[in-house]
Amino acid sequence: MSGYQLNGAVIAHDEEGYLTDIGQWTKDLASVIAKAENIDMNESHWEVVNFLRDYYEEYQIAPAVRILVKEMTKKYGKEKGDQKALYELFPYGPAKQACKIAGLPKPTGCV
Partner 1 sequence: MAEATKFDPRQHVHGDPLDMPALCPGAMQASKPYPAAPNHNQALGFPGELAPDWKEKAIARLGELLESNRALRVYLDSCVKCGACTDKCHYFLGTGDPKNMPVARQDLLRKIYRRYFTLSGKLFPKLVGAEDLTKEVLDDWYSYFHQCSQCRRCSLYCPYGIDTAEISMAARDIMDTIGMGQKYSNEIIGKVFSIGNNLGLPPKALRNTLEGLEDDIEEETGVRVRLPVDEQGADILLVTPSADFFASPHMEGLIGYAKVLHESGVSWTLSTHASEAANFGMFIGSHENMQKIALRIRQAAQDLGVKRIVIGECGHAWRVAYSFLNTLAGPFEFLDPNYPVPQHICEFTYDLIQQGQLKFDKSKNDAFRLTFHDSCNVARASRMGDWAGGQFDIPRAILRAVCNHYFDMAPEVIREHTLCCGGGGGLLTDELMDLRAKGAMPRMRALQEAADEHGVTHMAAICAICKAQFSKVLPMYGFDREAIVSVHQMVSNAIVLTGSKPPEDQESGDE
- Helical residues (DSSP H) of 1-111, grouped into ranges: 27-36, 43-59, 65-76, 83-89, 94-101
Distance CA 57, CA 103 (A): 12
Are 4 and 10 in contact by the 8 Å Cβ rule? The answer is: yes
Q: Which of 8, 38, 110, 111 is catalytic?
A: 110
Smallest gap from residue 56 Cβ to partner 1 (A): 10
Task: Sketch the per residue contact string, 9 through 48, with partner 1: x for CB under 8 A, - otherwise.
Answer: ------xx--------------------------------
Share in percent of the chain as helix, strand, coil (round to 5): 50, 10, 40
Tell me, yes or no, if 110 is annotated catalytic.
Answer: yes
Strand partners of residue 5? 10
Distance CA 4, CA 51 (A): 23
Nearer to partner 1, 27 or 92 (CB): 92
Q: Does 3 bind partner 1 (CB under 8 A)?
A: no
Contacting range for partner 1; rule: CB under 8 A; set: 3-11, 24-32, 46-54, 63-71: 63-71
Which residues sit at the interface with partner 1, rule CB under 8 A? 15-16, 59-61, 63-67, 70, 83-84, 87, 93, 95-96, 105, 107-111
Which positions are catalytic?
110
